[in-house]
Amino acid sequence: MSSDMCSPVQGSTATGGNKTSWPELVGKSVEEATKAILKDKPEAQIVVVPAGSPVTLDYRIDRVRLFVDTVAEVPRVG
């Protein structure tokens, strides 16, 4: 399978054509990713999780987890 960025369909799909993953969003901001996911799946419950955090193993068709691993601003006391 080609990783061509011009392919018309990106992400995995479940039966019925419902998108189940968004590989094209890797490297995007939480806001950009949330907007794109909700466009494809308006009923999605977006959960932002620090990368490497433990998560439950239950499967929910309405949940999409965004794993983030960067610090956006300088941490400061105060």
* Domain regions of the chain by residue span: 7-72
Interval 25-36: pLDDT, tens: 999 999 999 999
User: What is d(CA 60, CA 71) in angstroms, rounded to the nearest whole number?
Assistant: 28
The architecture in CATH of the region 7-72 reads: 2-Layer Sandwich (3.30)
Rounded Cα–Cα distance for residues 39 and 46 (Å) = 12
pLDDT in tens, 48-66: 999 999 999 999 999 999 9
The DSSP output letter for 25 is G
pTM over 0.75: no
Q: Could you give the C-alpha distances from 15 to 3, 47, 63, 78, in angstroms and in order?
A: 22, 24, 17, 51
